[in-house]
Amino acid sequence: MTYQVPEFVPEFICDRKQQQAVTLQLPTGTSFYGTGEVSGQLERTGKRIFTWNTDAWGYGPETTSLYQSHPWVLALLPDGRALGVLADTTRRCEIDLREGSTIKFSAAAVYPVITFGPFASPTEVLVSFSHAIGTIFMPPKWSLGYHQCRWSYEPDAKVLEIARTFREKDIPCDVIWMDIDYMDGFRCFTFDKERFSDPQTMVNDLHAIGFKAIWMLDPGIKNEEGYFVYDSGSDNDVWIKNAEGNPFVGEVWPGPCVFPDFTRGETRSWWAKLVKDFIANGVDGIWNDMNEPAVFKTVTKTMPESNIHRGDAELGGCQNHSHYHNVYGLLMARSTYEGMKMSSEEKRPFVLTRAGSIGSQRYAATWSGDNLSTWEHLHMSLPMVLQLGLSGQPLSGPDIGGFAGNATPKLFGRWMGVGAMFPFCRGHSEAGTIDHEPWSFGEECEEVCRLALMRRYRLMPHIYTLFYMAHMKGTPVAVPSFFADPRNSSLRTVENSFLLGSLLVCSSTTPDQGSNEVSHILPNGTWLRFDFGDAHPDLPTLYLQGGSIIPVGLPVHHVGEMNLNDDLSLFIALDDNGKAEGVLFEDDGDGYGYVHGVFLLTYYTAELQSSIITVKVSKTEGSWKRPKRVLHVHVLLGGGAMINGKGIDGEEIQITVPSNSEVSNLILASENQYTVHLERARPIPDVDRLPGQKGIELSKTPVDLKSGDWALKVVPWIGGRIISMTHLPSGSQWLHSRVDIDGYEEYSGTEYRSAGCSEQYAVLERDLQQSGEEESLLLEGDIGGGLILQRQISIQKDAPGNLKVDSSIVARSVGAGSGGYSRLVCLRVHPTFTLLHPTEVFVTFTSINGSKHEVRPESGEQTFEGTLQPNGEWMLIDSCAGLSLVNRFDLSQVNKCLVHWGTGTVNLELWSEERPVSEETPIRISHEYEVKQLP
């Protein structure tokens, strides 16, 4: 027997603490993707993340841990081949892709690493990967429609009002969601007796107009005797234990809570029975939230890692929480799914989970968590959905319009335009924000939303087919555009387009350009633009790949209106050989008949011969009888032009192709019509500033601050940087830089440029005081997640030689899903000083422990923590100028100090501790500068 030696072999290193590091060196020019639910750029090359499920409300592009954990990397090799690498661990894992073309996993305890490939294409890697971890559950067809959600629609009359308004306004929608306020005091499996007194009647009314109802269930169970879920759970001994062996109690929405130990089969069965009984109230789907698990009033935002799970033997047995933390959400979703399945054999379960990991796609869809109503998060939603798809979870999407904050009309409309093409399509918004229904932003935005959702529903036969293939074969649903052309390196960083099968969706995520104005990079081959007569600058541009056929339905307002006997359309793009093929899956949209062959899978082909295009069925699968219906055929010619034909579905249809000159005329006429359509489209008003914002005009103006010994120039709109900091008596400009680099900044993270004030963030000048006691400038920058970065620069009259800078990260509106606490943040004060005499400077200080230090440029970067930290003061000395810049700070606010020498520059950084903040617990660093003559 011969064995094939792997082309790429990982290297394993395990230290004495059982920390295992695994590295895999790949060829130069390899691009990295995957890594699961992550924020930031599509291509993960150069990034580092940590798999630790975290309640990351208000995350930013550099947040290193979100709600789900996928220790998985998809590597696209320079030649277009692809390789997948999975670290098979449930523990906190670092995925480091910062060193060239090297993958490095690091996690506690030993774990295997599994490679998939190399294969000829990334699709083959994902198919192989899905066979290992399980394919997605087969979603009920209605769950692929549009979902409307808010925290919260209440009471029941409001729920029905929202649903009826969708029907009155002819805006497609299938599902409305109930957030935690439907419960009695946030107790799971209960209903508020006043606001939702008769849930069954309400659901019946929703069903009557074609709506499904989805209800939230959290893992935190109120610690209250007499509450039937708590009593039942205690009787069955289902709760997670603390290190002392007692049920762990942590605070969530209901107050003190206990948490089911889903690692035990007995607990999962107990929960599934509760779910089964709950479904009897007319529940169509269940939303598992807060299942990282999130715990309030803790710095870690979760339960202690010392907690004990008495897990099943096949899961790892009795282990502490650090072993099971990342799979807690998966196991809860599994229990919920199984409970729904027990309730009915005629309905497929639909579960949405916030937390998850590798394998959770077998039981639940997911969404990208508590995002923000910003253009940055609109853009980021595309790579986030794609990364989840590249990590084995095809059914995902963002909160369209953004969860936290107030969307503007253009932002909401543009987001709905592209969101209507995502695999999971839901609008959701936070309590305290303005209304985020499609009609809430004016007639123009409402029309864009209507067109976008009509487009989704027309494409529903294609989308449903993609999910059947994903379920049966493991093929992806939404993927980056480079999947169509893996060798084309220019596609590897494209983030504003994606593929739905053979359908290419090209969008704009910037406010100043419509999708029609963006120069999109198309893969090699034939790509033909088309639409449904709905062209609009705020809708994505659609292209069909040459050689493809996609099925398209009639316009409907909910999936239940789709009748298998209705007319069906085929959109066809022939390849260079005059051929095309496509597939359509059909069944009753729910239940498990398809498992037993009760479905119809139709393979269509089209071929051009002697100016005749013949469209026919090449083969079929399944016992479902083909409906008698008209089949409309639309052959794309280019420029949006097409030739049409029709016949009976299942029979051969022939279409005569016009002459070359006629085709040219059709294309020209179509392009002209497209241009006129775009010009006549009603643009969404560009209202990006809401009434009541202060400081808008002041923030556009450079500010001079001159008093005592100091003259400063501050430019608010680029992060409030101090552009110059001149000491007047000596004439020395200690901080000076161009507008576009360096300067004086703070960041809200431990990574360089992570979620801090820079050009990307709105900065408002709030208070410019020039009277009496001091000259002062107060600046604010929105850094996302309800967090504000404040900076006050002041020169006091009684201390004219001292320049004071007071920096803070303040929680302005955190709380949704987080118990009043933000994501983990670290305030990093980051001034870059330009050195006039680089060889004659050094930093000196005395540490807390009394030791003395001189740090010179040749030392590179050095960090000082603990007792080595400067004892509240350090100095930058220019011995040539005979001056020292003294920097004094509050030692209680600073966790470490960092010196970084650049080429002719130095950073003297002050870092706070890293922790969440609330309205009552901001992070602050207050420090001051003074210039002194050297003796």
Query: Nearest-CA neighbor of 912 among 903, 902, 921?
Result: 921
Residue 100 in 3-state DSSP?
coil
Q: Is 152 within the bounds of a domain?
A: no
675 and 738 inside one domain: no
Q: Within a 10 A sphere around the Cβ of 1, how many other Cβ atoms? A: 2
Q: Residue-wise over 219-235: b if at least 16 C-beta within 10 A, else e?
A: bbbbbbeebebbeebee
pLDDT, position 749: 66
743 and 604 inside one domain: no
Domain end among 307, 339, 367: 367
Which one of 192, 205, 289, 765 is the catalytic residue? 289
**pLDDT > 90: what percent of the chain?**
75
- CB-based contacts of 490-499 (< 8 A; 24+ apart in sequence): 490/521, 491/521, 491/523, 492/31, 492/43, 492/76, 493/41, 493/42, 493/43, 494/42, 494/521, 495/41, 495/42, 495/379, 495/382, 495/383, 496/379, 496/382, 496/520, 497/521, 498/382, 498/385, 498/386, 498/421
Domain, as residue range, for 806: 703-933
pLDDT, position 724: 80
Instruction: Determine which of 161-175, 380-394, 463-477, 743-757 has the lowest per-residue pLDDT on average.
Output: 743-757
- Residue 6, pLDDT > 50, answer yes
Which tens digits make up the pLDDT trace of 589-627?
Answer: 999 999 999 999 999 999 999 999 999 999 999 999 999
651 and 787 inside one domain: no
887 and 802 inside one domain: yes
Q: Is 727 within the bounds of a domain?
A: yes
Average of pLDDT values for 760-782? Answer: 55
Q: Is 71 within the bounds of a domain?
A: yes
Q: Is 453 within the bounds of a domain?
A: no
565 and 598 inside one domain: yes
Q: Is 170 within the bounds of a domain?
A: no
Which tens digits make up the pLDDT trace of 792-811?
Answer: 888 887 888 999 999 998 88
Confirm whether 376 is a catalytic residue: no
Q: What tokens appear for 264 in the block?
A: 């035990």
Average of pLDDT values for 764-786? Answer: 61
Residue 578 in 3-state DSSP?
coil
- Residue 343, pLDDT > 60, answer yes
Positive/negative CA dihedral, 477, 478, 479, 481:
positive
Domain end among 78, 98, 133: 133
Beta-ladder partners of 889: 927
**What CATH number does residue 315 fall under?**
3.20.20.80
pLDDT, position 819: 60
Confirm whether 742 is a catalytic residue: no
- Residue 861, pLDDT > 90, answer no
- Residue 246, pLDDT > 60, answer yes
Which one of 292, 782, 928, 930 is the catalytic residue? 292
581 and 720 inside one domain: no
Quote the CA–CA distance of 491 and 778 in Å, as a whole number. Answer: 44
Average of pLDDT values for 441-446? Answer: 96
Domain end among 617, 645, 680: 680
Q: What tokens appear for 479 in the block?
A: 């993927």
**What CATH number does residue 56 fall under?**
2.60.40.1760
570 and 616 inside one domain: yes
Quote the CA–CA distance of 640 and 671 in Å, as a whole number. Answer: 7
- pLDDT band of 774, cuts 50, 70, 90: low
pLDDT, position 736: 66
Q: Is 417 within the bounds of a domain?
A: no
- Residue 694, pLDDT > 50, answer no
Mean pLDDT estimate for the chain: 91
Q: Dihedrals φ, ψ of 48, to 5°?
A: -140, 135
- pLDDT band of 701, cuts 50, 70, 90: low
Amino acid at 830: H
315 and 268 inside one domain: yes
586 and 661 inside one domain: yes
- pLDDT band of 331, cuts 50, 70, 90: very high
Instruction: Determine which of 209-213, 781-785, 869-873 has the lowest per-residue pLDDT on average.
Output: 781-785
pLDDT, position 2: 65
Q: Is 355 within the bounds of a domain?
A: yes
Quote the CA–CA distance of 131 and 103 in Å, as a whole number. Answer: 23
The residue ranking higher by pLDDT, 700 or 141, is: 141
**Cβ(634)–Cβ(647) below 8 Å:** no
**What CATH number does residue 554 fall under?**
2.60.40.1180
590 and 711 inside one domain: no
Q: What is the largest CA-CA distance in the chain?
A: 99
Spacing of C-alpha 727 from chain mean position:
46
784 and 867 inside one domain: yes
Q: Is 731 within the bounds of a domain?
A: yes
Which tens digits make up the pLDDT trace of 142-183?
Answer: 999 999 999 999 999 999 999 999 999 999 999 999 999 999
Angle, helices 228-235 vs 265-279, to 10°: value is 150
- Kindly report the length of the chain: 935
- Residue 338, pLDDT > 60, answer yes
Quote the CA–CA distance of 805 and 720 in Å, as a whole number. Answer: 12
Which tens digits make up the pLDDT trace of 253-274?
Answer: 999 999 999 999 999 999 999 9
- Domain count of the chain? 4
Which tens digits make up the pLDDT trace of 491-544?
Answer: 999 999 999 999 999 999 999 898 888 889 999 999 999 999 999 999 999 999
**pLDDT > 70: what percent of the chain?**
93
530 and 629 inside one domain: yes
Which tens digits make up the pLDDT trace of 629-668?
Answer: 999 999 999 999 999 999 999 999 999 999 999 999 999 9
- Residue 731, pLDDT > 80, answer yes
The residue ranking higher by pLDDT, 837 or 272, is: 272
Quote the CA–CA distance of 814 and 151 in Å, as a whole number. Answer: 14
Q: What tokens appear for 730 in the block?
A: 């000596």
Which one of 179, 338, 370, 586 is the catalytic residue? 370
The residue ranking higher by pLDDT, 393 or 761, is: 393
Average of pLDDT values for 11-15? Answer: 88
Quote the CA–CA distance of 579 and 243 in Å, as a whole number. Answer: 66
Spacing of C-alpha 725 from chain mean position:
39
Confirm whether 370 is a catalytic residue: yes
